[in-house]
Amino acid sequence: MKYGFLALLAALVASSACAQSLPNATPATHGEASSAPGSGVSSMDPQRDIVLAVANPVEPPATHAGSSLLGYAPSGFYGAGQRAISNLAELKRRYGLREVTGWPIKALNLYCVVLEPPPGMARDALLKALAKDERVQLAQPLQDYSVYAQKDADAQSYNDPYVNLQRGFVETDAALAQNVSQGSGVRVAVVDTGADTSHLDLQGRIHDTQNEVDNDEASFNRDSHGTEVAGVIAADADNHQGIVGIAPKAVLSIYKACWYPVGTNSGARCNSFTLAKALAAIIDTDTRIINLSLGGPADPLLDKLLSQLLSQGRIVVAALPPNGALDGFPVNRQGVIVVRESDTSTAPAGVLSAPGNDILTTQPGGGYDFTSGSSMAAAHVSGIVALLLDLAPKLDARSAHDLLLRSSKLSKGMFQVNAASAVTALRDAPKASR
């Protein structure tokens, strides 16, 4: 079946007449297969590449959302239809584009590709030309995103139970809240780096994983940021290990969309391609909570996917960027619960505050350490929302946000979310309001 598909595409390429190129465009290199799912990420350049989408109205045998144009994957794959194949081949020839990788987004009826512009052509000029092409549904820069955490280099590493050192756990009265709810069975999607699936405090808490970056399992388990976020949300309780998560019986799905660039000391990076694949995959699940401890510029494709998720009743929790701006992805979308680190200053309207400084949490290799950032603040709120959904499964994002805001309390001079107050308020509310 695979070879028949390749032969069909080759025939399409061979039989099509060469169209006139844009000024300064060079002929495309033909016969290049799209990368396997998640591959080629390290070769992508946010300063150079673009994301392009064409209509994909035909649904062949099912495939999964992260598969590429030329590679069949196991069952569950949703691939490119004839119209998408033809249009992409023509567009690559017409504009002298080199395909890096491609993937289908079933929920939007689109097929997307990451493309490298031809040498000598300005990206802005190319995007303007593509915007006028009737075959193009979307054309935009490949955006760059980052996670919002900064590890304290001087912090000590711990290997023993330290629940009393969990600043966020103590300040939000999570132990009291867990007398009422522990988030039992509530699904939380963590879109982040990978996470240490073998960590004793995360075993039994991670239900499934999906790698949208590469096929490196060892690297997935070495990733620190996703491990930290996972521990704050759902580290196991009463297991004689380390710490306790805010919702210790919640179920995590880890979507690796961010990675640590080789040879640098910078934080984890993500891009439009990897984030879009992760969000598209979540659309096909029943996960209620999505934790996005990351952010960057506004992005048309990601906004479409986020809108779809919100329209399905998902509760999206996002970290406020360090500069406090609310104009980028994902915090610029109405309906997203935005969280900042607790501070004595007044929070922007509607933004929640949660502990995010010197947070003790899980680390790769079975350890524990302190970390800081609005990433950790968002993780605390995702955990509290899991406690609420355990009590009221039909609770919507607006109601959850308003409940968390009005039940927030002063703690050490800072107004921040309180797990016990939120759970108590929901438990005591009339059933009709849940």
Q: Is pLDDT of 399 > 90?
A: yes
Instruction: Supply the pLDDT for residue 23.
Output: 32
pLDDT in tens, 415-429: 999 999 999 999 988
CATH class, 147-433 region: alpha beta
pLDDT in tens, 18-42: 233 333 333 333 223 333 333 468 7
pLDDT in tens, 229-257: 999 999 999 888 899 999 999 999 999 99
β-bridge pairing 150-151 and 367-372:
antiparallel
Per DSSP, 241 falls in state: S
pLDDT in tens, 332-342: 999 999 999 99
Q: Is pLDDT of 62 > 70?
A: no
Q: Which of 302, 422, 284, 294 is nearest to 352 (CA)?
A: 422
For 36, counting Cβ atoms within 10 Å of its Cβ (0-12 exposed, 13-18 middle, 19+ buried), the class is middle
Q: Which residue has the higher pLDDT, 58 or 234?
A: 234
Cα distance between residue 200 and residue 112, in whole Å: 38
Instruction: Write phi, then psi, for 343 (nearest 5 degrees).
Output: -155, 160
Q: Which two tokens stand for residue 94?
A: 């017409």
pLDDT in tens, 253-302: 999 999 998 876 778 999 999 999 999 999 999 999 999 999 999 999 99
Q: Is pLDDT of 64 > 50?
A: no
201, 236 Cβ separation under 8 angstroms:
yes
β-bridge pairing 289-292 and 187-192:
parallel
Vertex 387: Cα angle to 385 and 392 (nearest 5)? 85
The residue count of the chain comes to 434
Cα distance between residue 196 and residue 236, in whole Å: 14
β-bridge pairing 251-256 and 187-192:
parallel
pTM of structure? 0.82
Vertex 41: Cα angle to 36 and 44 (nearest 5)? 120
Q: Which residue has the higher pLDDT, 184 or 78?
A: 184
User: Quick one: which H or E segment has residue 146?
Assistant: strand 144-147
Catalytic residues: 192, 225, 375
Q: How far is CA 175 from the centre of its chain?
A: 28
SS3 348: coil
Q: How far is CA 103 from the centre of its chain?
A: 16
How many C-beta atoms surround the C-beta of residue 213 within 10 A?
29
For 283, counting Cβ atoms within 10 Å of its Cβ (0-12 exposed, 13-18 middle, 19+ buried), the class is middle
pLDDT in tens, 87-126: 999 999 999 999 999 989 988 999 999 999 999 999 999 9
Cα distance between residue 206 and residue 312, in whole Å: 23
251, 295 Cβ separation under 8 angstroms:
no
Instruction: Supply the pLDDT for residue 29.
Output: 32
Positions of CATH 3.40.50.200 in the chain: 147-433
Cα distance between residue 421 and residue 409, in whole Å: 8
In the chain, what is the greatest distance between 2 CA atoms, to the nearest angstrom? 72
Instruction: Supply the pLDDT for residue 151.
Output: 53
Cα distance between residue 206 and residue 188, in whole Å: 10
380, 177 Cβ separation under 8 angstroms:
no
End-to-end Cα distance, the chain? 50
